[in-house]
Structures are given as structure tokens and as C-alpha cells.
Amino acid sequence: MKKIFRFALVALMAATAVVSCKDNKEPETPAEYKGPEQGTSAWSVIGSLLDTNWDTDFVCAEQDGVFVLKNVKLAKGNEFKFRENKAWDNAYKGVFAELGKGFEVDNEPGGNNIKPELEGIYDLYLNLTDSQAAICAAGKAPQWAAVEKSNAAKIVSFSLKSGDVTIEGEVFDDDKVVEIQYNPEHAALVANATAVYEISPKATISPDPATITDWTNHVELTVTAQDGTTKNVYTVEAIPAEFTVAIAPVAGVDGKLLTDLGANNDIVNYGGNQIAFAGTKNIVTCDGRVYDLDFKYVGDLNRGEIGAGAIMGLTNDDNGIVIAAVGYGDAEYSAAPVDGDGAVTWNYTNSTRFFAWKDGWDKAPVKFYENGSRLMYINASGDFNGAMLMTAKQGVNEGGNGNHHLFHFQAGVVDGSKWAWFETHKAEIGIGGEQNFTSGAWRLGASAGSVACPVGTDKNDALFVYAQALSALSVEDPNYATNVTDKWGKDGNAGMIVAARQGFTGTDLILEGTAETVNGKTKPHRYGGLYGWGNHCITGGIKAFQYNGTAYVGVAGSNWNETHFTVVDITASAPGSTAAILATTSDNTGKMAGGGLGSVAYIYDAETDSGHIAVLFATPGNDVSSEVRRFELTREKK
Amino acid sequence: MLALSLSACKQVEMPFTHEDSDVVITSMLMWNLPNKPITADSPFNVKESVEAEITHNATNEVGEIVFAVPRAKRNLFDLEHVTLQATVGYDLYITPSLAGSWDLTRDEAGNPKVTLTVKSERTGFEKKYTVYAYVKRTD
């Protein structure tokens, strides 16, 4: 009996051993191994297995929503990862736990490779839905670990990207709204942008934002949590950002004397702007000195082939390429002015050449236009290397006609077919006739007339702002007569008119300053001039520009002993109601016997998202009171 | 003896006792300052507060305390670092202590992370409130 029992026991043990081999235990390796069964999915296994060294992808097949590589011969010490598209952008690893059972994997940087320490033939599984992998005996199905599915379904962050510009979105989760507040200058980008976003881990989003490029209209996106039932619908709304725009003088450089900068007091010999920005970090004045934004001297403008020419006017394009109108023919202006003897004159020149400092103020400029007469009071708008619109007034003498010219340039080459006259409010001249301006009024030289400044590159729709010196008021003029309490006298100095129009033939919107306000009125007054810019007829002291989608003009005016600077908000202005972001600020130097010649320059600095403004008031003559001022325009989202 | 009897009938003064429905957080303020300003020029140097909207619900239910930050003030608050101030009735106390900095954002699923308990020391009755803060899209 005992022998029978013992035999039965042995047989039972043998049978048990056979059964055990059929479970998920390490099987025997077949005699001939033909390699893994590869598929065609985007996922593969790579590692130190199968006599490779992280240099061979074994492509998985897709089976019932998971990826599998079957019939893999593993050896002790093998390590591997699953990866997508044979690249390391998306690779999964984890810690093997038990044969046939799912274990957690992730695609975070760092961590351990999968290292099962198994010998034999196995099937390798990757379950992305549950973030698990499994290693099973060949032919066996994995047992996935129960996963508590996430119910998180949020848009965590969202932005739009178009070229180099990223427009950040703001997620208002309680309202389920994503606001894309775009700056005015980025409005067109919203129609052709790519979404960059983050949603809750393991959630999905529909429709796929990658399929959408036009975000101008509201777009609904549904985020579904991993649990498949929790959903949130978000509305992506692209709206123009609202900003609060502010202007402030720059400390330390508001009212700084030219002589304190190391410059000569009498650098200005002409009307028109005599200051410009070189890039967004430097300022150039007509004497060729270059400063940083705080008016610290940094060097001299490279004159290249300018030779004996005199800089008669300065402007810059929207990118800070300095442009100068340089006159030739009068030897006197090849010499540096001496302080104290710089009585302003308007000596004529034989020809004018336009130069541009394309490669920076310290590199030689290029000459890009030449005219046989005197062209000055220049202003530019646009891109010198692309489309640019320039205004320039031609002197009456030496063949000029005293009128304003509009020039269209493309990459520095003038398009003669687009040239046009710019006629101001007060007609200046009939062609061939005399200039009709400022007789008897305070002005500088016979060429004082008007200056125009464009914002835009097409004369038909660009914004133009012009300043024109006005004739003296007659005694019969009602504005003259109402000012009997003031010492208007016979001068009748009306100062200048400043007006804005859309398109070069548009209707003028007359703008008014607030110099010398008396009883709430700026006109008429001896020192305020008819329109409140000061009664000193200077021309050229305006610079129109656009910031935050709003059109502005900086106006530099003066009367005896005082300079006035105003920044008008043209967009918010209406007839009889001039809005200003900087109401007229006046600087009384106390010794301006010669009157102030104002110049204004502007450049937008994308790096700081601010507008730099530089103002030069020149008082050539016996007074040493020429000064510079700096202002900054900034904006803050509401 | 009559005098002694009269004296013995004098009514005993009862201590104050809350009704269960009185055990509430009356009001709360959320301040934008942590224990000290973050930097000298930090916007958090501007002291700002938001008053809570409190939904008590029924006496035995969990109440809800919500701080809705107006849009215009959203840059003045770091909702992961705020301080709290509460008003409760006599003899009530709140746990955990309100001292220190609080994270009043919600979790990934949108659930408040913070729960406060107000309790009557005398009766032992307590009521819970969930607390969270968010930014309103409008003012």
C-alpha cells in the first residue's frame, strides 16, 4: 500500500509540474528563434535586447487598442523602452513587477528603463490608455491593473502662435472661456495662428486644435476626462486687448541743455525735424552726434560719402533706419557752427541728396535719392527696405516750387508713378507763383511754410499730419479784436496750424494745443497763437505715429521764452475737441531770445513694448538754451 | 426659615449655549498678502482683500465659501498664497487654524482643496465649509 501511495504521489507531483509549466511561468526557448513578430504601428521597442544596443527599433503591431511585440527573446540584463515614431520625443519606461500583470509606465524624462530580468520568449505589451505595460509569456494575454480613471477635464493653458509672435490666452475656468487678448497690431495674425495648449493629464480635446488656424470667430473646444464621461466645453474668444496707455517724461533727460550733452548750442540751422532715432537704442541729432536713450553721447554718425554736405533734415523709418536730407552747394555749412553766432539763415543749396544708414549709425550710409534743388522738411513712414512713404518740401529757390512732395519708395528706389503734391489747408502756392505764407509773421527764413508727416505707406490711405506757419492776423480779424485786454499789438502772430487728414486729399481735422490758456481759451492770445501751439511760426516740429492702434502726433511749438510740447491723440479728437495724451507742457528757459525750433522723433521698441519720443528745441543765437526732452509711451493691459 | 426658603428658590444663571443653526462662519476675508511681501516692488505690496460669498446650506450640510476675485484685481492675487480672516459667533472656533498662507485653488477635477470646520465648544456641534477662490471674468 505504501508503495502504491508513493508512486501515486510521485505521479501526482510530475503532473503538477507539467501543469505549472503551462501557467505564466518561464517557458522553454524554442530551438530555432526567428525573431520578434513585428507590425506596422508607430510604436516600437528599443533597447539592449536581441543583441542590439539601443540602435534598433522593433516595430509593434496594434491589437485591440494596445501595441504589442510578440515572440521576443529576452535575456537577463536586457533593458528596453517603448517609443513612438522611432524617436525619443515620446518614450515610455517603468518598473516591471510581475509576469503577465500590467505595471505603470510613463513618458516623463528620467527614470529607469524596463528591466525584467527574464530569460525566454515573451510578448511585450504597451497600453497607452491606462499608461501600463505588460510582459507575458508568449501567447498569453496581459492582466491589466485596475486604474482609477481621472475625471479632470480642464484647459490648463492656451496661446496662439503665428510666426515669431505668441499671443497668450487667459483661462477663466469658472466661465469656461479662454480669452485671447491680442494687441491691435496682431489682429491679422489671429486669422492664421497655431494653438499651443495644455489640458488635464490623460484628457482629450475635440476638435483637435491643430486642425484650426482661424481663431477670429469663437471656437468651442470640448475637453473629455480620462473617465470618458466628465466633459467641459470651453469657448476660445479672440478679442482685442484693452490697454491703458500712459506717457511720462524720462527722468533726468527732460529739459537737458545741448551744451550739457557736450554739443554746440547752435546745431540747428533749418526748420523741419533735426532729430531721429537710430534703431531703438540711439538718438541722432543734425550735428551728427549720436546718443543713447538717456542722451549720453556714444559717438558720431558715420558720414561715409556725404563729404561737405550739410544735414538739413533728419527722420527715421519705422525700424530706426536714419534718413537725412543733405544739401550741397553752400560751403558755409560744411563748417561747424560756433556758439553765439548761429543766427538762423536759409542759405540755398544746389542739390539735395537723401542718405539712409541701412546698417546702423556707425556704418557708411547709402545715397538713395538725389534732386537738383533743395528738398527738406522730410518725414518718413514705413520700411526703408520695403515700402516707404516720404514727404519733403522743395525750396522755391534754385528751381524748387515750394510745395510738398510725396514720394513712394520701394527698397530705396522711388516710384515716380506714385509721386504727388501735398496741398495744405492754407494754399501755399500756385505753381509758378509766389509762396503764400507767413508774411509778417514770426518765422524763420523765407522757406518757413509747412511740413507734412505721414503714417502709412500709401498716399491714398495714409494718415497725414501737417503743420503750417500762418500769416499774421489783421486788425480786422475778429480773433484779433477780441483780445483787447492782452498785449496782442500789431504783431498778430498767429503761430501755426496743425491738422490731420486721412489720405493726402482727405478732409482736415484741425487740432488745437493749450499753450497759454486764458479763461479756458487758447485763442486768440499773443503767446498761444491762433490754435494754441504758441505764436512762434516754426515748421517741422511734428511727428505723427501710431501706438497701440491709436494715431498720435507730437507737436513742438514755441513762443518767446517758452517751448511747448504736446502729444495729441488724433484718434480720440474731433472738430473743436482735441484730445491729448500729453497736454501741452511748457518749459520756460527764461532766455530764449531767438525762439525755439522744435523737432520730434519717434520709434516703437518691440522689446520694451514702448514708444520712445525724443524732442529737440533749438534756440540758435545768443542764448544758450537749446534743450532736449525724452518721453516714453507705455501701455498696460486692463 | 421662610427667608432661607426664598433664598433657595433664586433662579440659577444659565451659560450661553448655541443653537446648532448658529454654528456658522459669519463672514470671511481673503487677503492678497502672504506673511510678508514677496519683493520690494511686488504688486503684492498693494494690500487687497476680497470678501467671501458664503452659502451655508442646511444646518447639517456642508457649506460653501467662495472668494470671487474681480477681473481688475486678478494680477494682485496669487491664489496659491493668500491669508484668511474670519468672523464667527461667540464661543465658536475654527479648525484648522487660519494662521499662515493658504492655497485656495481647486484640484484638477475642480474640487476645493480646503475644508474648514466651525465648532461650538459648549455643545460640540460642528459644521464644515469647503473654501476656494477663483478669478471672475468680469468685475
A contact test, residue of B79, B137, B138 with most A CBs within 10 A: B137
Q: DSSP alpha helices (H): ranges in A255-306? A: none
Please check the confidence at residue A553 and state whether its pLDDT lies above 90: yes
The b/e string for A59-78 (b: 16+ C-beta within 10 A; e otherwise) is bbbeeeebbbbbbbbbeeeb
Task: Please tell me if residue B113 touches chain A, with a CB cutoff of 8 Å.
Answer: no
Q: How far is B75 from chain A (nearest CA, A)?
A: 10
Q: Average pLDDT, stretch A301-323?
A: 93
Task: Please tell me if residue B135 touches chain A, with a CB cutoff of 8 Å.
Answer: yes
Binned at pLDDT 50, 70 and 90, residue A480 comes out as: low
Task: Report yes or no for ipTM above 0.90.
Answer: no
Please check the confidence at residue A7 and state whether its pLDDT lies above 90: no
Residues of chain A positioned with their CB less than 8 A from the CB of B110 = 152, 154, 173
Please check the confidence at residue A91 and state whether its pLDDT lies above 80: yes
Q: How far is CA A286 from the centre of its chain?
A: 28
Cβ contact (<8 Å) for A154 and B134? no
Q: Average pLDDT, stretch A275-283?
A: 98
Could you tell me the pTM of the whole model? 0.66
Nearest CB neighbour to A174, from listed B72, B109, B134: B134
Residues of chain B positioned with their CB less than 8 A from the CB of A151 = 109
Least confident of A155-164, A328-337, A393-402, A588-597: A328-337
The predicted structure's pLDDT at residue A517: 59
The predicted structure's pLDDT at residue A333: 40
Please check the confidence at residue A339 and state whether its pLDDT lies above 50: no
Q: Which one, of A621, A2, A557, A601, lies nearest residue A313 by Cα? A: A601
Please check the confidence at residue A393 and state whether its pLDDT lies above 50: yes
Please check the confidence at residue A536 and state whether its pLDDT lies above 50: yes
Pairing type for strands A204-206 and A194-199 reads: unpaired
Listed by start position, the domains of chain B span 18-36+47-135
Task: Please tell me if residue B137 touches chain A, with a CB cutoff of 8 Å.
Answer: yes
The CB-based long-range contact list for A305-311 (8 Å cut-off, 24+ gap) reads A305/A364, A305/A365, A305/A367, A306/A355, A306/A365, A308/A334, A309/A334, A309/A353, A310/A269, A310/A334, A310/A349, A311/A274, A311/A286, A311/A287
Nearest CB neighbour to A175, from listed B108, B110, B137: B137
- Which has more pLDDT, A400 or A304? A304
Residues sharing a CB contact under 8 Å with residue A514, sequence separation 6 or more, in sequence order: A522, A528, A532, A566, A580, A583, A584
The predicted structure's pLDDT at residue A24: 59
Quick one: what percent of chain A has pLDDT higher than 90? 56
Q: How far is A211 from chain B (nearest CA, A)?
A: 26
Q: Average pLDDT, stretch A207-213?
A: 96
Binned at pLDDT 50, 70 and 90, residue A403 comes out as: low
- Would you state the torsion angle of the CA atoms of residues A55, A61, A65, A66, taken in this order, to the nearest 10 degrees? -50
B contact test, residue of A173, A198, A199, A235 with most B CBs within 10 A: A173
Please check the confidence at residue A445 and state whether its pLDDT lies above 50: no
Q: Average pLDDT, stretch A425-435?
A: 42
> CA A345 to CA A310: how far, in whole Å?
13
A contact test, residue of B79, B108, B134 with most A CBs within 10 A: B108
Q: Average pLDDT, stretch A159-181?
A: 94
Q: How far is A251 from chain B (nearest CA, A)?
A: 19
The predicted structure's pLDDT at residue A70: 96
The predicted structure's pLDDT at residue A394: 74
Q: Which one, of A469, A515, A467, A526, lies nearest residue A493 by Cα? A: A526
Binned at pLDDT 50, 70 and 90, residue A307 comes out as: confident
> CA B87 to CA A9: how far, in whole Å?
79
Residues of chain B positioned with their CB less than 8 A from the CB of A150 = 108-109
Nearest CB neighbour to A152, from listed B72, B108, B137: B108
The predicted structure's pLDDT at residue A209: 96
Cβ contact (<8 Å) for A638 and B72? yes
Binned at pLDDT 50, 70 and 90, residue A533 comes out as: confident
Q: Which helix (H) or strand (E) holds B6?
A: helix B2-8
Chain A interface residues (partner B, CB cutoff 8 A): 150-152, 154, 172-175, 177, 179, 200-201, 225, 230, 638
B contact test, residue of A155, A170, A172, A200 with most B CBs within 10 A: A172
> CA A370 to CA A347: how far, in whole Å?
19
DSSP state of A441: S
Q: Average pLDDT, stretch A22-33?
A: 61
Residues of chain A positioned with their CB less than 8 A from the CB of B107 = 152
Closest-CA residue of chain B to A153: B109
Cβ contact (<8 Å) for A230 and B137? no
- Which has more pLDDT, A590 or A130? A130
Cβ contact (<8 Å) for B108 and A175? no
Q: How far is B61 from chain A (nearest CA, A)?
A: 23
Please check the confidence at residue A182 and state whether its pLDDT lies above 50: yes
Residues of chain B positioned with their CB less than 8 A from the CB of A172 = 135-137
CATH number 1.10.540.10 is the correct assignment for the domain at B18-36+47-135:
no
Please check the confidence at residue A9 and state whether its pLDDT lies above 80: no
In terms of phi and psi (left: phi > 0; alpha: psi -120 to 50; beta: otherwise), the region of A159 is beta
Least confident of A262-266, A351-355, A512-516: A512-516
Closest-CA residue of chain B to A227: B109
The predicted structure's pLDDT at residue A310: 86
Q: How far is A110 from chain B (nearest CA, A)?
A: 24
139 residues of chain B, pLDDT tens digit each: 444 444 455 555 555 666 788 899 999 999 987 545 555 555 556 688 999 999 999 999 999 999 999 998 888 899 999 999 999 988 899 999 999 999 999 998 889 999 999 999 888 999 999 999 999 998 8
The predicted structure's pLDDT at residue A331: 42
Q: How far is B14 from chain A (nearest CA, A)?
A: 48
Q: Average pLDDT, stretch A35-58?
A: 96
Q: Which one, of A180, A181, A175, lies nearest residue A233 by Cα? A: A175
Binned at pLDDT 50, 70 and 90, residue A539 comes out as: low
Cβ contact (<8 Å) for A179 and B72? no
Mean per-residue pLDDT over chain A, rounded: 83
Task: Specify burial of residue A386 (Cβ count, 10 A radius: 0-12, 13-18, 19+).
Answer: middle
The predicted structure's pLDDT at residue A596: 74
Residues of chain A positioned with their CB less than 8 A from the CB of B135 = 172, 174
Please check the confidence at residue A452 and state whether its pLDDT lies above 70: yes
The b/e string for B90-104 (b: 16+ C-beta within 10 A; e otherwise) is ebbebeeeeeeebeb
Residues of chain B positioned with their CB less than 8 A from the CB of A203 = none
Please check the confidence at residue A429 and state whether its pLDDT lies above 50: no
Q: Write phi, then psi, for A449 (nearest 5 degrees).
A: -155, -90
Residues 91-110, chain B, touching A (beta carbon < 8 A): 107-110
Q: Which one, of A528, A524, A526, A517, lies nearest residue A555 by Cα? A: A528
Please check the confidence at residue A341 and state whether its pLDDT lies above 50: no
Residues of chain B positioned with their CB less than 8 A from the CB of A175 = 136-137
Q: Average pLDDT, stretch A15-35?
A: 57
The predicted structure's pLDDT at residue A29: 55
Quick one: what percent of chain A has pLDDT higher than 70? 78
DSSP state of A142: P
> CA A559 to CA A525: how far, in whole Å?
11
